[in-house]
Structure 1
Amino acid sequence: MQLRFLGIIPNTPVDDSPTIWRDDVTGDLLIQSYKATEEEVKACQEIGSVPGHSTNVPDHETIIRLPAVMLKYIPRPEDGHGEVPRT
């Protein structure tokens, strides 16, 4: 696995630092962020998803809350081959 650091919320405390990395082999994003509250998870489950899929969150998955300020670090195809825009 080859991870590339994409971004972190600037000026966050040492113990409170949402961060995004990208696996250069698979293109997957690894995201450290805030856990969704029980209320938020329940709301996601009530909205539902694709027909035929459970709305339960399996033990090997979780729902996180990604602060909007972190969206700028998510690679987009229009940025040129998934490269992160420089801010």
Structure 2
Amino acid sequence: MSILFVGIDPNTGDHESPTVWADLENHELVLQGWKPSPELEAECAALELPGHAVGIPDTEAVIRIPARMVDTIREACDAVERAAAKLP
């Protein structure tokens, strides 16, 4: 697996560290964030959207990432796109 560390929340403390990586092999973003409140998670799980089942599968999670990390997430997106563009 080829994981590229992209960045960490610039306002992180010693114990909280939302982080972004780019998985260059699978062309995916890997995010570490805060757990949502039970109320927010329930609200997300209850949404009925086209192409999206109600609920959160056991293999998925809702996380929160601060808006100040948008540039870091963009950088990870660019890295994944560059890796995917190199495919035959």
Which interval holds the TM-score relative to the shorter structure? 0.7 to 0.9
Residue 5 (structure 2) aligns with: 5
Residue 40 of structure 2 aligns to a residue in which SS?
helix
Residue 69 (structure 2) aligns with: 70
Residue 38 (structure 1) aligns with: 38
Give unmatched runs, 5+ long, in structure 2. Answer: 80-88
Contact 2:46 2:55 in 1 (8 A): no
Q: Normalised by the size of structure 2, how large is the TM-score? A: 0.75
Query: How many residues are treated as equivalent by the alignment?
Result: 79
Q: Which has the higher helix share?
A: 2
Detail structure 1 runs of 4+ shifted over 3 Å in the superposition: none
Give unmatched runs, 5+ long, in structure 1. Answer: none
Residue 21 of structure 1 aligns to a residue in which SS?
strand
- Determine the C-alpha separation between the residues in 2 that align with 1:67 and 1:16: 12
Residue 13 of structure 1: how far off its partner (Å): 1.4
